[in-house]
Amino acid sequence: VAELGTPTILVNNAGGVFSSPLLETSENGWDALYRANLRHVLLCTQRVARTMVAAGLPGSIMSVTSIEGVRAAPGYAAYAAAKAGVINYTKTAALELAPHRIRVNAIAPDITMTEGLAALGGADASAAMGAVVPWGRPGHVDETAGVAVFLASDMSAYITGQTLHVDGGTHAAAGWYHNPQTGTYQLGP
């Protein structure tokens, strides 16, 4: 703070995921996913928001969550629960921090072609992932970053308590998939 000044923008972008079917999830596994995906959101938000409030500065706080926070995710119950927690926490924090002119929003990507994901599957994986996204391809990290830049800017000055889905239409599809043979949408792949 002494060197750079009071932070007025925070992006909570940390987490982790592993498959953990409900009946096999251990208490330690649940706690690990909670700590990685939800606890840090509270701690980082508190620290930065307290600094903004003390300085009397407005700001923007964002948390990267996941589409799994709003849909069932068989095999990933602990992860989905933590991401749902981030979404609800975002709404509550937005209300509590609004009097201080601090906006709080969430960004919920779906399949995003990160360097790690590309290294695991390459072009074949990208095509397969695109088949379940209405836009026809996985997202790019720059598209998610663009939403963060928007939410950090004054262009979003009246947006708070929202979750923006950066998912190529997956959230809107709600289980409907485009059938390339018929050109129509059907429920389920």
Per-residue CA distances from 183 to 29, 51, 135, 179 (Å)? 42, 53, 14, 5
What's the token pair of residue 40?
A: 């840090």
As given in the structure block, the two tokens for residue 91 are: 């709404």
Between residues 1 and 95, the one the model is more confident about: 95
Task: Decide: 6 and 59 in contact? Cβ < 8 Å.
Answer: no
Contact 20, 29 (CB under 8 A): yes
Q: Are 164 and 70 in contact (CB under 8 A)?
A: no
Domain count, the chain: 1
Which range, of 73-77, 110-114, 129-133, averages the lowest pLDDT?
A: 129-133
| Nearest alpha-carbon partner for 165 in 187, 186, 134, 189 | 134
Handedness of CA 164, 170, 171, 172 (dihedral sign): positive
- Whether residue 14 lies inside any domain: the answer is yes
Residue 93 lies in a domain: yes
DSSP state of 66: -
pLDDT digits (tens, 9 = 90+) for 127-185: 777 778 888 888 999 999 999 999 999 999 999 999 999 999 999 988 777 777 787 77
Per-residue model confidence as pLDDT tens digits over 28-67: 999 999 999 999 999 999 999 999 999 999 999 999 999 9
| 165 part of a folded domain | yes
Q: Is residue 188 in a domain?
A: no
Overall pTM > 0.85: yes
In this structure, what CATH number is given to the domain that contains residue 99?
3.40.50.720
The residues carrying an active-site annotation are 79
Domain range spanning residue 93? 9-173
